[in-house]
Structure 1
Amino acid sequence: MNSPSLLAPVDAQEESETGFFLHGFQEASASDAPFVPWNQRRKAVQAQLLTPTDPAAALRLVWSQDTALRYLQSPFIDQLVQYLEFYHVPAQQTLIAQGEQGDYMLILLSGQVSVNRRMPDGSQVHLADTQAGDVLGEMSLFDSSPRFSSCTSSTDCALAVLKADTLDAMMELDASTAAYLLALFARKLSTRLRQTTARIEP
């Protein structure tokens, strides 16, 4: 008898009881912020599914120069790619919109993404032009809060997508990989928050 796939869909009732990350979005459902899951977003941005020949090698390459993620060793990356979906997205697409809730984070494998924030006075602040290897949207995935900024593809991009339900599956089925990954993402997020704060503070 074949064993079930690691990524097999989970019953909706089971998700509501056991899904740590999905549960956060359920608790936040009373918020005024619109909830935009990846399955909805990917249609809006014309995302086309990719099947990389060696996705682990692609991740190792883009993370090899990253000060935090370069410490994610090859065996962990080999495990991680089992939980990712890969897409091609054309230029000038809103991958993440400020103020919405979303159940996914993105890893940029190629191309460039512009990150901008709308301020209370209506002005726009350009926060960054991200490069291959950068991670986008992880903060909202971790705490179920509205997105802090908007991310728009400046060029055609290749993306790896990690969804909340898949992260829940990783935590249950491969806890060591999940813990290692989350610790490194937290370190990277802390650094980026400091840099962002420095840009937007008067």
Structure 2
Amino acid sequence: MKSVLGLFKRSGRGPAPGEGTDSLMFSTAFMEQGLDAGMLVPWDARAVEVGARRIPASQGGRLLRGLWSKDKFMSRLSPEAMERMERFFEYAVVPADRDIVRQDEYSNWMVVLLSGSVAVDRVQPWGEHVRLAEARPGDMLGEMSLLDSGSRFSHCITLTECEVAVMDPRALDEMMANDPALAASLVGLLARKLSLRLRAVSARVTDNAR
């Protein structure tokens, strides 16, 4: 199992936390939640569980650049900044009908969907199953948990074979240590996207309450 997990370990992306990386802000966020590290589900383990196959960074990075260049927010990154950011992601293909994210679990990585489609569902407290959305290429999943290591709000399952780019907190901390301007840009853009999403959800809740 350990050797298989090693296939998804980061290679050529600089030192691991504690080995020359100055920031551990995101890697240790789970402790602020009062969680034991054993409660977290890392991407390495989920990748093996769902049968993900790693794809070359050149292939994944090209897809990521193409999608983000058309995104209202992420396109604010310069082409050179996007190229620098590519190395902080891992890229993989996930088969259809696989749980990428499970509701209420604790994990701390985000996924950018590069191809295919993903169902975003939620089981309400009273037992109702709700389809919240169907993610398409360019959509992000789980960025809130990347930032705070909180529990997942929804359940994400691949409807087709999907290519994905994954960023975990170690990579984000590495970016903060080695390319802080790039990290600040990414966190700022993620915060803006999350803010607008929360405002849209609040507006729907308000309308439904009338």
Query: Shared fold by TM > 0.5?
Result: yes
Deviates more, 1:117-126 or 1:168-177: 117-126
Which residue of the partner structure matches residue 6 of structure 2? none
Q: Which runs of 5+ in 2 are unaligned?
A: 1-11
Q: How big is the shift at 1:187?
A: 1.3
- 1:125 aligned to 104, 112, 130, which one? 130
Residues 116, 150 of structure 1: 8 Å contact kept: yes
Query: Residues 117 and 134 (structure 1 numbering): CA distance in 2 closer, same or farther, change over 3 Å?
Result: same
Query: Residues 90 and 55 (structure 1 numbering): CA distance in 2 closer, same or farther, change over 3 Å?
Result: closer
- 2:49 aligned to 44, 49, 56, which one? 44
SS at match of 1:21: coil
Residues 110, 168 of structure 2: 8 Å contact kept: yes
Whichever residue aligns with residue 38 of structure 1, its letter is W
Which residue of the partner structure matches residue 7 of structure 1? 14
Which residue of the partner structure matches residue 177 of structure 2? 172
Which residue of the partner structure matches residue 164 of structure 2? 159
Which residue of the partner structure matches residue 40 of structure 2? 35
Query: Residues 128 and 139 (structure 1 numbering): CA distance in 2 closer, same or farther, change over 3 Å?
Result: same
- 2:68 aligned to 52, 63, 72, which one? 63
SS at match of 1:121: coil
Residues 127, 196 of structure 1: 8 Å contact kept: no
Q: How big is the shift at 1:52?
A: 4.5
Deviates more, 1:105-114 or 1:65-74: 65-74
Q: Which runs of 5+ in 1 are unaligned?
A: none
Deviations 1:26-80 (A, max 9, x none): 333537x942111111111111000043544322211233221222221111010
Structure 1 Cα separation of the partners of residues 159 and 202 of structure 2: 23
Q: How big is the shift at 1:10?
A: 3.4
Query: Residues 200 and 35 (structure 1 numbering): CA distance in 2 closer, same or farther, change over 3 Å?
Result: farther
Query: Equivalent residues in 2 for 1:9-24 (5 A)?
Result: 9-11=16-18, 18-24=23-29
Count of residues in Structure 1 that have an aligned counterpart in Structure 2:
196
Whichever residue aligns with residue 186 of structure 1, its letter is A
- 2:78 aligned to 58, 73, 77, which one? 73
Which residue of the partner structure matches residue 182 of structure 1? 187
Query: Residues 156 and 195 (structure 1 numbering): CA distance in 2 closer, same or farther, change over 3 Å?
Result: farther
Give % identity.
36
Whichever residue aligns with residue 62 of structure 1, its letter is L
Deviates more, 1:128-137 or 1:52-61: 52-61
Structure 2 Cα separation of the partners of residues 86 and 55 of structure 1: 6
Query: Residues 190 and 98 (structure 1 numbering): CA distance in 2 closer, same or farther, change over 3 Å?
Result: same
Structure 2 Cα separation of the partners of residues 198 and 127 of structure 1: 15
Runs of 4+ in 1 over 6 A off after TM superposition: none
Which residue of the partner structure matches residue 145 of structure 1? 150
